[in-house]
Amino acid sequence: MRFQQTPLLASALLAFLLLSASPSLAFLGFGDTHETVRLQNGAAVLPLAALDNGKARFYRADVNGRTVRFFLVKDHAGAVHAAFDACDVCWREGKGYTQDGPVVVCNNCGQTFPVARIGAVQGGCNPAPLVFSADARAATITAQDLAAGLRYFQG
């Protein structure tokens, strides 16, 4: 007996694979996981309580008419780390990073980076450090510091 509905089966299988895959499919064009932040008085002020679950929060902001993507995450000791959602090597692919427990993973080359080292290690495929300040309640990132990463988000 031949199965005549191969296209239907293939479509169903593809839908199943996409729905059961990780939520990081944004880099393939299946939605965006970056929350839009608006700069007020020349800065983005982001509440740190949003990071208390140990998961990275991904953001995007309009800077000089272009979108800059970045993320914040707390490590196991409670220290806050910030980085652009790009690196010196893979930025042209525009795929950024996803978090997998205590590491972030480059969505282009698959390299992993410990959360605790984000912002402290620069160059190569490490998430590009993003300057920020923080108090007990919020992280503040200036428009000038966000503009420093514009080169990663060209076109």
What's the pLDDT tens digit per position in 37-64?
Answer: 999 999 999 999 988 888 999 999 999 9
CA gap 35, 53 in Å, rounded: 17
| Unique residue bearing structure tokens 């780390």 | 81
Question: pLDDT tens-digit profile of 133-146?
Answer: 999 999 999 999 99
CA gap 32, 24 in Å, rounded: 9
CA gap 111, 125 in Å, rounded: 8
Residue type, 27: F
pLDDT higher than threshold 70 for residue 122? yes
Chosen CATH of 23-153 out of 2.102.10.10, 2.40.50.1020, 3.30.470.20, 3.40.50.10890 = 2.102.10.10
pTM for the structure as a whole = 0.79
- pLDDT of the residue at 133: 97
Q: What is the DSSP letter of 25?
A: G
